[in-house]
Amino acid sequence: MSDVRIHNLAISLDGFATGEPQTAEAPFGHAGERLHEWMFATRFWNEMVGAPGGTAGADNAFATLHGHGFGAEIMGANKFGPPGWQDDPDWTGWWGSDPPFHTPTFVLTHRPRPSIEMEGGTTFHFLDATPAEALRRAREAAGGLDVRIGGGPTVVRDFVREGLVDHMHLVQVPIVLGRGVRIWDGLEALETTYDIEATSTSSGVTHLTFTRRR
Amino acid sequence: MSDVRIHNLAISLDGFATGEPQTAEAPFGHAGERLHEWMFATRFWNEMVGAPGGTAGADNAFATLHGHGFGAEIMGANKFGPPGWQDDPDWTGWWGSDPPFHTPTFVLTHRPRPSIEMEGGTTFHFLDATPAEALRRAREAAGGLDVRIGGGPTVVRDFVREGLVDHMHLVQVPIVLGRGVRIWDGLEALETTYDIEATSTSSGVTHLTFTRRR
């Protein structure tokens, strides 16, 4: 059976995975890009955007797992576009004509639309479904490979709470956001079902990995 | 000028420094002793309770700073006793006849009582005062040494928010408590006034240190 994994979900010290308000100009609200600067410095990121260089240390090792072994992604409506994208029939996501997913990608929304085939292997499918049903569909499409839960934090929480996630990788960034969407709400006693490991790195972030006990 | 410091304040991944409800039998509520097991394993703790052994690694190094260079402590009413201790004229704290403070120790309470001189150099003074006023009194008593803000989390937050704290050491324990008293509330943008460092150790905790920029 393939695994369900979450990678590179950055949170503040106080657990917010995004600030507020989320708009087309500021997808992460008042957090800006501060939750992701650690990743922009890595070789993983530079390769993805076609730039040279980047760090090759622990941050890069963790970040790179995001791209390995996946056959499908599931994301929430708030990741696919800014508030109101459902009213724009031409919206095809933030990522241009060749999105970085390169697999079937399932967007959870209460207002589904026809699938969109992009360049580079990404096809967006729109589902109004429970986490379990969405995962069943994604697994069918993944051809035996793993399924990534791509976020945002509300969707991640939903899948973790339902017991559907095998691995979760959070990256704790040393800022205090104070407001936004908190990853931890409703996840009390997560340590009873996951082995948790913490790894601080020289960039100042701490990688938190959760591995479900078998 | 002496420094104001906080040491060994343990929090869950979701930022709770205590669970709930707090009672005489369970001072940390449903958290039990899980926030402090990392400390019980150290040489620092064993020395304090008169036991042999204990680890001598990074956890012990951080923990030991709690005892160095202090001339006074300030604590909140919730640290001094269980809810309702103010109604018990014989209550002298959790710590027996020789408390581990060995300095003047200021207890913030809206119902002050006469000072209590304990064995071993600890004298409890009871103050109904603002953080700034309490700090002024503690500094007078500290004889040029540092002042420790001993907790609980509400008092720590109050002093940090008022800009009175020079160093803060939090210890993030890999559990998700879900409820209790959260350290982060009201501390948005703490990274603008403090340098923050994270150090994960082999026990699974992550030490977070905050050093005020000069």
Residue B82 Rama label (left phi>0; alpha psi -120 to 50; beta) = beta
Sheet holding B167-173, edge to edge: B116-117, B123-127, B104-108, B70-76, B146-151, B4-12, B167-173, B206-212, B194-200
Q: Which two tokens stand for residue A202?
A: 């020289």
Which residues in chain A are closer than 8 Å to B13, comparing Cβ atoms? Answer: 15, 184, 190, 196, 208
**Which chain B residue is nearest to residue A210, measuring alpha carbons?**
B174
Q: Give yes or no for A205 touching B (CB within 8 A).
A: yes
3-state secondary structure A138-157: HHHHHCCCEEEECCCHHHHH
Q: Do A191 and B178 touch (CB under 8 A)?
A: no
Task: Give the pLDDT confidence of B155-166 residue by residue, as tens digits.
Answer: 999 999 999 999
Q: Which of A176, A196, A200 sits opposite B187 (nearest CB)?
A: A176
Q: Is the pLDDT of residue B1 over 80?
A: no
Closest approach of chain A CAs to the CA of B211, in angstroms? 13
Which residues in chain A are closer than 8 Å to B190, comparing Cβ atoms? Answer: 13, 175-176
Task: Give the pLDDT confidence of A38-49 residue by residue, as tens digits.
Answer: 999 999 999 999
Percent of chain A with pLDDT over 90: 98
What's the confidence (pLDDT) of residue B140?
97
What's the confidence (pLDDT) of residue A214?
87
Q: Is the pLDDT of residue A146 over 90?
A: yes
Mean pLDDT of A137-162: 97
Task: Give the pLDDT confidence of A14-35 residue by residue, as tens digits.
Answer: 999 999 999 989 999 999 999 9
What's the confidence (pLDDT) of residue A1?
74
E-strand stretches of A77-151? 104-108, 116-117, 123-127, 146-149
The model carries a pTM of 0.95
Task: Give the pLDDT confidence of B4-62 residue by residue, as tens digits.
Answer: 999 999 999 999 999 999 998 999 999 999 999 999 999 999 999 999 999 999 999 99
Question: For chain A, what is the mean pLDDT?
Answer: 97
Please give the domain boundaries of chain A with CATH numbers for all domains. Answer: 4-82+97-212 (3.40.430.10)
What's the confidence (pLDDT) of residue B214?
87
Mean pLDDT of A157-186: 98
Q: Which of B172, B176, B189 sits opposite A187 (nearest CB)?
A: B176
What's the confidence (pLDDT) of residue A189?
98
- A59-88 residues labelled b (16+ CB within 10 A) or e (exposed): bbbbbbbbbeebbbbbbbbbbbbbeebbee
Question: For chain B, what is the mean pLDDT?
Answer: 97
Mean pLDDT of B158-184: 98
Distances (CA, A) of A190 to A22, A162, B31, B194, B202: 28, 12, 13, 30, 20
Q: How confident is the model at residue B139 (pLDDT cuts 50, 70, 90)?
A: very high
Cα B29 to Cα B24: distance, rounded to the nearest angstrom? 9
> SS3 for A39?
helix
Q: Do A174 and B187 touch (CB under 8 A)?
A: no
Mean pLDDT of A187-198: 98
Percent of chain A with pLDDT over 70: 100
Q: Which two tokens stand for residue A136?
A: 């069943």
Tell me the ipTM for this assembly: 0.93
Q: Which two tokens stand for residue A78?
A: 């708030």
Q: Do A189 and B208 touch (CB under 8 A)?
A: no
Percent of chain B with pLDDT over 90: 97
Q: Is the pLDDT of residue A65 over 80?
A: yes
Mean pLDDT of B88-113: 97
Cα B173 to Cα B170: distance, rounded to the nearest angstrom? 10
With a CB-CB cutoff of 8 Å, which residues 121-180 of chain B face chain A?
A: 172, 174-179
Which residues in chain B are closer than 8 Å to A31, comparing Cβ atoms? Answer: none
With vertex at residue A49, the alpha carbon angle to CA A43 and CA A54, rounded to the nearest 5 degrees, is 20
Q: Which of B184, B198, B200 sits opposite A204 (nearest CB)?
A: B198
Mean pLDDT of B197-201: 98
Cα A15 to Cα A10: distance, rounded to the nearest angstrom? 9
